[in-house]
Structure 1
């Protein structure tokens, strides 16, 4: 296996400024490519297109998602860099909105798409989850076998199990995760509880699946509840790079994929899952 150079872009999606957000995202991706990064990752709803009402005007801002996706495909090819442009709110012909992420190859082709399954509570009245009878699917990329989940999916180990059963070695997690997601109940108990959740879950998923976990969260003012804390974790070594605050910025991370084989030789998790004697019902 090889070492991958990955750009984690902790990005502030300013509300109702889709064009400006897109332009700024392009700038970050170009900067990442100039460093020699092989992959650039943006957070969930990076265009600031989170739908919070059934209002037709609010939904209409999601109608041009394909234009932005096409633009990222062209940019990936022009800059010779793979791109996961966070996720988009996609308005479809039946007037439903889905929350979708794409992996774009450095030749501009789409290697894989994922529609969020486990919606966060404020999304549920307005966003349609992917079909319950569809599996999480790993796909081939220039960086090897990859899987994607989005934000609250991180709380469900089953999603990661489905992906590593199919051979995923890296799982990418665009997110829009804030301290205030703990609600008044959680904030009263511990204002930083969501940060503890993120730090624990990202590292745990890496260890328990012998995979690389690339978690890219939104940036934003801390007094508005933004957590940041974007990070990359590997088994055996834990978190190898992390934003310690909620400020916008980019980190270039060298991810040594050989560590995954070393971890598997120790834990034999993938080996055990592949046997007929495997105890749990993750096969469908």
Structure 2
């Protein structure tokens, strides 16, 4: 029988340029998740600093990125929980890299991913991972892949990860309801919520995988009256969204039944077809078939 894993979605509201306070809040959520028996906790993109690249002091607020990564490693080992600490912005010379990590329950870094598909305003500030391949990795929860925010819009990224055997894909995100033009927003003020909920479920179905999506939330005192999109959830085939949140800060704990993924693959045979000689998209056949 396939295992069932408890997963914590930490929909944090990051305060701009205050990494110490944001880390302390994240630490509190993760400790609560561990007490509830969670095997994995996932935080949002930019959760330490928020995304305010034009603010004086933004680069300085990213300077201790290595220190906070080490703190998360120590926390994972102390609590015996795997952690995806959202993303951490790392200064590299004159450049900034937006990095997601997967930290095992023993504190070891098992996966590292630099955001590839940058949202248009990010391109003035961040460096993309460009043509580096999307690679999955082995974890205590099975084979996992990492993507970040706008990567969600690229089915190719998911296909490359599942061709490398990924069963779970974690996506730290910083997504607003107003990440579009005034004309786009006027068409549907809930358009970005529609985008997220539609696409997350589609990706789960078409890849027979679980999509663990952790977005930033708004200030808890404002409730749903915020431009932060939220909607953190675990999306799986056949069922849809598990533990879906609103827009406000908080935490949702989800039981992820890995047997659902097996049933989906038995039905849709996506991975089986990708290994076949008749598969039309050759680049997804270069992976080691033993991982699929």
Partner of 1:109: 108
1:2 and 2:21 aligned: no
What aligned pairs does 1:1-284 form with structure 2 within 5 A after superposition? Answer: 1-50=2-51, 52-53=53-54, 57-92=57-92, 94-130=93-129, 132-221=130-219, 222-243=224-245, 245-283=246-284
CA distance in 1, matches of 2:176, 2:55: 23
Contact 1:49 1:62 in 2 (8 A): no
**Contact conserved, 2:18 with 2:61, CA < 8 A, in 1?**
no
Aligned mates of 2:80, 2:115 — CA distance in 1: 27
Residue 16 of structure 1 deviates from its aligned partner by 1.8
Whether the aligned pair in 2 keeps the contact of 1:52 and 1:122 (CA below 8 Å) is no
Q: TM-score, normalised by structure 1?
A: 0.95
SS of residue in 1 equivalent to 2:283: coil
Residues 92-117 of structure 1, C-alpha deviation per residue, up to 9 Å, x if partnerless?
A: 2x221010000000000001001000
- Provide Cα deviations, 1:227-258, integer angstroms capped at 9, x if missing partner: 11111111111112200x21111111000010
1-structure distance, mates of 2:282, 2:118: 23
Task: State the alpha-carbon separation in 2 of the partners of residues 255 and 80 from structure 1.
Answer: 18
Stretches of structure 1 lacking an aligned partner (at least 5 in a row): none
Superposed CA RMSD in Å reads 1.4
Structure 2 contact 3–259 (Cα < 8 Å) conserved: yes
CA distance in 1, matches of 2:54, 2:3: 45
**How far, CA to CA, are the matches of 1:262 and 1:178 in structure 2?**
34
Query: Is contact 1:161-1:282 (8 Å) kept?
Result: no
Shift of 1:58: 2.5
CA displacement at 1:60 relative to structure 2? 1.8
TM superposition outliers: structure 1 runs of 4+ over 4 Å:
221-224
Q: Give per-residue Cα distances to partners, 1:39-90, cap 9 Å, x unaligned.
A: 01100000124352396x3212211100000000000000000000100111
**Within 1, Cα distance between the matches of 2:47 and 2:55?**
20
Tell me the distance in 2 between the aligned counterparts of 1:172 and 1:268.
Answer: 22
Hey, what's the Cα distance between the residues in 2 that align with 1:7 and 1:75? 15
The SS at the match of 1:266 is helix
Counterparts of 1:72 and 1:52, CA distance in 2: 24
The structural deviation recorded for 1:224 is 4.5
Q: Provide TM-score, normalisation by structure 2.
A: 0.93
Aligned equivalents of 2:58, 2:16: Cα separation in 1: 11
Question: Residues of 2 paired with 1:50 and 1:200: CA distance?
Answer: 25
Gaps in structure 2 of 5+ consecutive residues: 287-292
Tell me how far apart the structure 2 counterparts of residues 70 and 91 of structure 1 sit (CA, whole Å). Answer: 16
